[in-house]
């Protein structure tokens, strides 16, 4: 916290806030499938990875800063660093470029990755370095590689990681291309949104490896067979991430939802189907399917990659409901 002497012991405050965050994540059941992650979250100091962040206020953002001369402001910064919320960490012209994800969502994703001792992991999107620190705490520095396109982001991630005592490999480069010089990987996890599966990731994965990535406001977990084939289903968890820069990006013109009932337009699961089938179904067709199939949960959807083909599906990869993803 710099040269300032807070009115209260900042280390004690951080430890107490971190313990409270762990209890909240515990209560959410996020790491029920792999409770070993509890120890990593209890040990890694999130506040060292967010020396400042932005909080939305009327008319824009308010910057919270660990070096503020105001002790109360520093205490608000420290408390906010351990809230179970995403934190905006980098803005440019009002556009969010980077953030620290919601810790309980990070726990969900890490548990779903199903890492084992000795696994090598590639993280796409270095962010603040906090997720890489959690991975390094669990697996060891040499088993973790994180990549980001923006040299300012990778440099700050290195500083944050070093301050917390972790030294995974941090690479500046296009995440869509992976990090071939560090391949093969047992696991790949992306913390930025895509609209297609980069083939480089399959080529850099060991057979049987897992890829976890945000796509269409969901999280899909793929099992890799070889450099040309992967398949898997979505988790139940909704997920909204900053798009990957340098690779395929979600986007396009706003959909025209005329004729779709307001209840459906505002339903998260319907909007997931809209995002997944964009370019294949118009909103009215998507709504008819959604109602006909009982408003399906995310877990009923999946993704298949086979050679130069890539498609989303409902219930069965070879069933009647399948939609090509952008190439």
- Known catalytic residues? 98
Three-state DSSP at 72 gives helix
CB 210 within 8 A of CB 224: yes
Q: How far apart are CA 25 and CA 248, in angstroms?
A: 32
Strand residue runs (E) in the chain: 52-57, 60-65, 87-92, 95-100, 121-124, 144-148, 169-172, 185-190, 205-215, 218-226, 229-234, 301-306, 309-314, 322-324
Query: Three-class SS of residue 222?
Result: strand
Query: What are the distances in angstroms from CA 298 to CA 210, 220, 233, 234, 303?
Result: 19, 9, 8, 6, 12
Query: SS3 of 221, please?
Result: strand
Cα Rg, the chain, nearest whole Å: 20
How far is the C-alpha of 160 from the C-alpha of 200, rounded, in Å?
Answer: 28
CA-based torsion, 100, 101, 103, 109: positive or negative: negative
Q: Distance between CA 243 and CA 93 in Å, rounded?
A: 16
DSSP-derived pairing of the beta strands 301-306 and 205-215: unpaired
Assess contact for 80 and 55: CB atoms under 8 A. Answer: yes
Q: What SS3 class is residue 81?
A: helix
């Amino acid at each position: 916290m710099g040269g300032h002497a807070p009115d209260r012991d900042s280390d004690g405050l951080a430890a107490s806030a971190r313990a409270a965050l762990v209890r909240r994540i515990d209560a959410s059941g996020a790491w029920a499938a792999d409770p070993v992650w509890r120890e990593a979250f209890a040990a890694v100091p999130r506040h060292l990875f967010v020396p400042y962040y932005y909080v939305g206020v009327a008319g824009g953002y308010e910057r919270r800063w660990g070096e503020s001369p105001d002790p109360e402001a520093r205490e608000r910064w420290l408390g906010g660093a351990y809230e179970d919320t995403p934190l905006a960490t980098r803005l440019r012209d009002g556009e969010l470029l980077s953030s620290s994800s919601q810790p309980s969502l990070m726990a969900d994703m890490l548990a779903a990755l199903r890492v084992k001792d000795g696994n090598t992991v590639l993280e796409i999107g270095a962010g603040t370095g906090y997720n890489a620190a959690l991975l390094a705490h669990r697996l060891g520095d040499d088993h973790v590689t994180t990549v980001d396109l923006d040299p300012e982001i990778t440099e700050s991630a290195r500083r944050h990681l070093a301050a917390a005592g972790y030294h995974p490999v941090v690479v500046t480069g296009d995440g869509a291309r992976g990090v071939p010089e560090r391949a093969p990987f047992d696991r790949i996890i992306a913390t930025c949104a895509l609209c297609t599966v980069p083939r480089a990731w399959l080529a850099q994965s060991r057979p049987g490896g897992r890829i976890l990535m945000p796509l269409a406001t969901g999280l899909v977990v793929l099992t890799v067979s070889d450099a040309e084939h992967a398949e898997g289903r979505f988790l139940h968890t909704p997920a909204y991430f900053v798009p990957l820069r340098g690779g395929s990006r979600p986007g396009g013109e706003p959909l025209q939802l005329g004729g779709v009932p307001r209840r459906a337009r505002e339903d998260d699961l319907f909007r997931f189907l809209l995002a997944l089938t964009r370019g294949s179904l118009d909103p009215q067709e998507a709504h008819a399917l959604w109602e006909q199939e009982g408003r399906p949960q995310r877990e009923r959807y999946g993704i298949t990659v086979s050679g130069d083909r890539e498609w989303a599906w409902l219930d069965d990869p070879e069933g009647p409901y399948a939609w090509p993803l952008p190439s």
